[in-house]
Amino acid sequence: MKTHSTVNPLPPNRSASIIGTGSHVPERVLTNAELESMVETNHQWIVERTGIVERRIAADGECTSHMAAEAARQAMKNAGVAPAEIDLILVATITPDTVFPSTACHVQRHIGAVNAACMDVNAACSGFLYCVEIARQFIANRAAETVLVIGADKLSSIVNWQDRNTCVLFGDGAGAAILRHNPESRGIIATYMGSDGNHADILHMPGGGCAIPITRENVDAKLNTLQMNGRETFKQAVTSMMRAANIVLERTGLSPDDIHCVIPHQANIRIIEAMAERMGIGMDRFHINLEKYGNTSAAAVAIALDEAARSGRLHRGAPVLLVVFGGGLTYASSIIEW
Ligand code: UT7
């Protein structure tokens, strides 16, 4: 008599690897000097307190889905994947083109990925890693072969340009990755995702949903713009990202020293410095581009990953740590064998 396991064997889970990346930022550069004429700020303060020198701002009519599609085209080219091969499109964004349909559906139309199921994920700046983990699960369980993951945001569309506490920090952009099983790589070795809704109010956009709908009064009161308690967010960012990093290090049995390259969320150079100090590794181990783009929310870690990969900084087989933090609060980390 056949045993249960031989009658109906469960297929073993498969690993998932990033087989190609891409990114796109808008042409328009907004410098710190220009911001000096918009709000009471100065280049020296912005550089010293954040590390940001300039950021990119999308044109009117240049939507999140357009930047996302451009990043996706590059990732597909880099991976050697045709649009029709994509089974699933996941877009991490908090600035969707439309409340519905999803930005993923708009991207599908732009790139002609006719065979894909499409959805957005809202985990603020952590969204790209959340999507990478969802993609990994689909691939591991054989629910998808090829997944396109995108982090894209047009934060300039929800920034209050009269609020110096926030308007100097953010920029627009998109980063993309194609995930697939690669028998020659362990791919994504471990991921950790966490959230803390108790701190929802320290970084949020209060208006625009059903709680505070779009009315003339609410828009005039700037409730449809991003609001942040900077100091508290800073503290939570360091604590949460360290927690996330430590958990995946523990799960993989790796020490910070074993990590070839850390790709962190690009919010503030001082957050990254605090992490380097706590991890006991040099800043040279971190891939940083926030001086050029500011904080591009869900796109930040995806753009940095693409840049690091294209620059030859990531070596085959070497462990890479990605670690992110965002509104929600949300945070996540992944260790990837590149
Ligand atoms: O992606 C989501 C995650 N986001 C983050 O992780 C952001 C985390 N927070 C931060 O990066 C920092 O808290 C900020 C960059 C937002 C602010 O830096 P800070 O060192 O925490 O400054 P602060 O908020 O404590 O403000 C210090 C001073 C204040 O003046 P007073 O009250 O001491 O007179 C601010 O009004 O700096 C003033 N200030 C500015 N001055 C010039 C705040 N923004 C500006 C500005 N230019 N743009």
* Domain end residue (candidates: 180, 201, 227): 180
**Ligand 1 atom 18 nearest Cα:** 49
Give how many domains the chain has, as a whole number: 2
Rounded CA gap, 315 and 306, in Å?
Answer: 13
What confidence score (pLDDT) does residue 8 get?
55
Omega of the bond leading into 329 within 30 degrees of 0 (cis): yes
167 and 286: one domain?
no
Structure confidence at residue 13 as a pLDDT band (50, 70, 90): confident
Structure confidence at residue 10 as a pLDDT band (50, 70, 90): low
pLDDT at 186 over 50: yes
103 and 225: one domain?
no
Q: What is the average per-residue pLDDT within 305-329?
A: 96
What residues act catalytically? 125, 265, 295
The percent of the chain in helix, strand and coil, each rounded to the nearest 5, is: 40, 25, 35
pLDDT at 93 over 50: yes
The CATH number of whichever domain residue 192 belongs to comes to 3.40.47.10
Average pLDDT, the chain: 96
pLDDT at 4 over 70: no
Domain membership of residue 76 as a residue range: 17-180
Classify the C-alpha dihedral 168-174-180-183 as positive or negative.
negative
Ligand 1 binding pocket includes 168 (Cβ within 6 Å): yes
Rounded CA gap, 128 and 134, in Å?
Answer: 10
Ligand 1 binding pocket includes 236 (Cβ within 6 Å): no
Structure confidence at residue 257 as a pLDDT band (50, 70, 90): very high
Burial 277-295 (b: 16+ CB within 10 A, else e): eebebeeeebbbbbebbbb
Burial 26-62 (b: 16+ CB within 10 A, else e): beeebebeebeeeeebebeebeebbbbbbbbbbeeeb
Structure confidence at residue 2 as a pLDDT band (50, 70, 90): very low
155 and 199: one domain?
no
The string of pLDDT tens digits covering residues 16-57 is 999 999 999 999 999 999 999 999 999 999 999 999 999 999
269 and 327: one domain?
yes
152 and 193: one domain?
no
**Ligand 1 atom 36 nearest Cα:** 165
27 and 165: one domain?
yes
Pair of tokens at residue 251:
């799960």
The string of pLDDT tens digits covering residues 132-141 is 999 999 999 9
CA of 300 to the centre of ligand 1 (A): 20
Rounded CA gap, 40 and 53, in Å?
Answer: 16
Ligand 1 binding pocket includes 45 (Cβ within 6 Å): yes
Residue 287 maps to a domain? yes
pLDDT at 108 over 80: yes
Ligand 1 binding pocket includes 43 (Cβ within 6 Å): no
Ligand 1 binding pocket includes 286 (Cβ within 6 Å): no
Q: What is the average per-residue pLDDT within 218-234?
A: 97
69 and 154: one domain?
yes
CA of 236 to the centre of ligand 1 (A): 14
* Domain end residue (candidates: 152, 180, 208): 180
Rounded CA gap, 58 and 172, in Å?
Answer: 6
* Prediction pTM value: 0.95
210 and 330: one domain?
yes
* Domain end residue (candidates: 114, 148, 180): 180
